[in-house]
Amino acid sequence: MRFTDMAEHIFGNRSRVRVLRLLAGVSVPLNASQIGARTRLSQPAVATALNDLAALGIVASSPAGRAWVHWIVDDNVYVSEIIRPLFEAEGAIPQELLTDLKETFGSSAISVVLFGSYARNDISDASDIDVVLVGEDGAAKNALQACASEVAERFAGRWGSTLSPLVYDLEEAASLVSRAPDLYSAIDRDGIAASGLEPSEWGMHAEKG
């Protein structure tokens, strides 16, 4: 084993990554049952991952009552230089997507709302980047549609997923609550406003207009 090969030995497989991500994100030691419940891993998978990580000095353990508890060793160089920076960067990705959407569409839209699996943090290989773009009027709507087409390839390359925009003018967006209630409910429930109005504000602003 070489220093330059350590990433392979640290992360190794999905079980090890899940255990590391969990332990890096909590402030108290956890027992194997707690780790299994939070990572949705079997107890044998948890035990194997913990043993592998303990062998690298990344995880430590001690008895606590009838169980053993486990924690990540912050003094370990691989924790401080590889593991924590990786998961901190991973945790910043959702905000980076919102920033990208805001910078791309915010100047032309009165509302940019991310929804669907990316908003729920429930992403799969088949996930699209679902986003609602609302323009003040028909002209703004057309401009947003053109912009979405222009940036589609960039988003696919940068994020590894297809940009899937729903583009409306304000009146159309406000009417979703009555003409497409299931869609509106999903947007309102899961949506995260990257820029401008929240979905719940569409109707009020349409009435003012």
88 pLDDT band (50/70/90 cuts)?
very high
Q: Where are the CATH 3.30.460.10 domain residues in the chain?
A: 92-208
- What does the pLDDT read at residue 4? 55
Say whether pLDDT at 7 is over 60.
yes
193 in Cβ contact with 116 (< 8 Å) = no
pLDDT of residue 6: 77
Top pLDDT among 8 and 53 is at 53
Per-residue DSSP letters for 4-64?
GGHHHHHH-SHHHHHHHHHHHT-SS-EEHHHHHHHHT--HHHHHHHHHHHHHTTSEEEEEE
Q: What would the pLDDT profile of 148-170 be if each residue is shown by its tens digit?
A: 999 999 999 999 999 999 999 99
Alpha carbon distance 160, 157 (integer Å): 6
99 CB contacts (<8 Å, ≥6 apart)? Answer: 194
CATH of domain 92-208: 3.30.460.10
pTM of the model: 0.82
Local structure of residue 201 (DSSP, 8 states)? G
What is the predicted pLDDT for the residue at 188? Answer: 96
**What are the pLDDT digits (tens) for 102-118?**
999 999 999 999 999 99
The tokens describing 106, both together, are 């915010």
The pLDDT score that the predictor gives to residue 124 is 85
Where does the pLDDT of residue 209 fall: very low under 50, low under 70, confident under 90, or very high at 90 and above?
low
pLDDT by residue (tens digit) across 118-152?
Answer: 999 888 888 999 999 999 999 999 999 999 999 99
pLDDT higher than 90, residue 78:
yes
pLDDT value of position 191: 96
What is the arithmetic mean of pLDDT over 8-32? 94
Is the pLDDT assigned to residue 3 strictly greater than 60? Answer: no
Span 167-181, average pLDDT: 96
Name the class of domain 3-73.
mainly alpha
- In the chain, list all ranges with CATH 1.10.10.10: 3-73
